[in-house]
Amino acid sequence: MDDMQRIGDRIRRARKGYGLTQRDLAELIGASERTVREVERGTGGQALRIVVAAAHAVGLTVVAS
């Protein structure tokens, strides 16, 4: 599992822990359900992928908590 999938998995678990649907989360963050699905699968957010890559390049780790 890569970093994007790990982050997406953490987001999914947290969302479910709060009893939110993907639609609920999408409305809270001003995004589409499709975007939330992609983030949770680790397939969306190319900009975030770049941030993670840049962090790794300089010896930093991105942590979702």
Q: Convert the pLDDT of each residue in 2-61 to its tens digit.
A: 888 888 888 899 999 999 999 999 999 888 899 889 888 988 766 777 777 777 877 888
Which structural domain, as residue segments, surrounds residue 26?
3-57
Q: Are 39 and 45 in contact (CB under 8 A)?
A: yes
Determine the pLDDT at residue 18.
93
Rounded Cα distance between 12 and 64, Å, is: 12
Give a yes or no: residue 65 inside a domain.
no
Q: What is the CATH number of the domain that holds 20?
A: 1.10.260.40
Check the CA dihedral 30-36-40-46 and report its sign. Answer: negative
Determine the pLDDT at residue 42.
85
Determine the pLDDT at residue 7.
83
Rounded Cα distance between 49 and 62, Å, is: 11
Give a yes or no: residue 42 inside a domain.
yes
Q: Are 3 and 62 in contact (CB under 8 A)?
A: yes
